[in-house]
Amino acid sequence: MTTRVFTGLKPTGQLQIGNYLGAIRPLLDLAADPDNDLLVSVADLHALTVQHDPARLRALTLEMVATLLACGLNARAKLFVQSSIPAHTELSYLLESTATYGEMARMIQFKEKSRGQESVRLSLLTYPALMAADILAYQSEVVPVGDDQRQHLELATTLARRFNGTYGDVFTVPRGATPAETARVKDLRDPTTKMGKSGAAGAGVIFLRDEPDAIVAKVRRAVTDNNPTLTYDPRNRSGVANLAVLLGALTGSSPGAALDEIQGAAALKAAVAEALVETLAPIQKRYRELTADPAELLSVLRSGAEVVAGDAVKTVANAREAMGLLSLH
Ligand code: TYM
C-alpha cells in the first residue's frame, strides 16, 4: 500500500531557506521512500488572494517549478500547477458550502493579511476551502506543511469529517507532518517573526537563489546579542537560536549540538554562511541549466497534470453526487 502525500507551495515570491528546510527538504525525504506517492502542486490560484501582477505571477510560477526540480524533486514526485486542474476550484466551492464564515474569518493568516487593508479580496477569506480542495481532491493521507499552515490543514480535516458525516464517506481525512526543529525559520534581522518569501526587502531572508556574497553579507548582519557564550535558548536569545536552528538543519544535527564546537557569534555566523553556500550552490547550478529550456519545464508540467487529473475528477464527481447535484452521465 502506498501512502498518498500532498503539499502545495504558493508562487508569491522567490523561495527562501525557510521554505527549503520547512517544506522542500522534508519532501525530498518523503519522495525517496518508494512507499509514498507524492503530489506537489504549485498553488498559483492562492497567489490571486492578494494584489498581484499577472506577468510576475507567470514568471514566479515557472521559477518555482524550476527551483523545485533543481532541489531534486525527481521524477517520482508528481509536480503540477494547481490552476491546470479545474477540479480544484469546483471542489473548493462544494467545500465552501460545508464551511462557515466564522471558521474562515478566524484563520490567523486571514486576520494578519487583512488587518488594516482598505480592500480585502474575497478569495483571501475563502482560501482555506481551496487549500482543503487541493488536499481532499487526491484523497491525500499525509500533508507536510510548516507550522504556519497547520491551522489551514486542521480546517481541511474538519471539513473532510463534516462532509463525510453529512453526505457520506467521500474524503480521506488527512493528517499533517511537521518537521520538529526546522518548522520555523525566523527572519535574520527580526528573529521573532518567521522568515517569509516577501520579507521586507529581503534583508533578513536567505533566498535559494542568493549569490554566495549576498548570503555571507546577510548572515553577517543577522541579529544576535552581546552574550559571548553561545547557548540555545529560543525564548530569550531568539537571534542565536535561529542561527542554531539553521546550522543544525543544514548540517544534520540538533540546534543545541550545532553550537557545541563554536565560540562566539562571529564564528557561528561564518559557519551558518558556509553551510548555506554549500547547500545552495548545487541547487543554483541545476536551476540555471533548467531555466535554459522553458519548453522542457512546460512539458514536465503537462505530464504532471495528465497524471493527476483523473483522481481529482473522480473525487469531485463523488462529492457532487453525494451533495445531490445532478449527473448527466
Ligand atoms: P506557502 O507557499 O506560504 O509555503 C509553502 C510551504 O513552506 C512552509 N514555510 C515555512 N516553513 C518553515 N519556516 C518558514 N519560515 C516557512 N515559510 C513557509 C509553509 O508552511 C508551507 O508548507 N497555502 C499554502 C500552499 C498550499 C498548500 C496546499 C499546502 C496550497 N494548497 C495544500 C499544503 C496542502 C501556502 O501558502 O504555503
**Distance between CA atoms of residues 160 and 170, nearest Å:** 8
Query: Residue 144 CA: which ligand 1 atom is closest?
Result: 22
Q: Tell me, using a 6 A CB cutoff, whether residue 46 lines ligand 1.
A: yes
Architecture of domain 199-289: Orthogonal Bundle (1.10)
Alpha-carbon Rg for the chain, nearest whole angstrom, is 21
- Find the 227 Cα to ligand 1 centroid distance in Å: 34
Q: Do domains 3-182+294-323 and 199-289 have the same CATH topology?
A: no
φ and ψ at residue 81, rounded to 5 degrees: -95, 130
With 0.85 as the threshold, say if the pTM is over it: yes
For 167, counting Cβ atoms within 10 Å of its Cβ (0-12 exposed, 13-18 middle, 19+ buried), the class is middle
Q: Tell me, using a 6 A CB cutoff, whether residue 38 lines ligand 1.
A: no
Q: Domain-by-domain residue ranges, the chain?
A: 3-182+294-323, 199-289
Please state which CATH number belongs to domain 3-182+294-323.
3.40.50.620
**pLDDT recorded at residue 146:** 79
Handedness of CA 269, 272, 275, 276 (dihedral sign): negative
- Find the 22 Cα to ligand 1 centroid distance in Å: 8
Q: pLDDT by residue for the chain (329 residues), tens digit each?
A: 899 999 999 998 889 998 898 778 888 888 889 999 999 999 999 999 999 999 999 999 999 999 999 999 876 799 999 999 999 999 999 999 999 999 999 999 999 999 999 999 999 999 999 999 999 999 999 998 878 899 999 999 999 999 999 999 999 999 988 655 455 799 999 999 989 866 556 899 999 999 999 999 999 999 999 899 999 999 999 999 999 999 999 998 999 999 998 999 999 999 999 999 999 999 999 999 999 998 989 999 999 999 999 999 999 999 999 999 998 87
> Which amino acid appears at position 15 of this protein?
L
Handedness of CA 201, 206, 212, 215 (dihedral sign): positive
Nearest CA to ligand 1 atom 7: 19
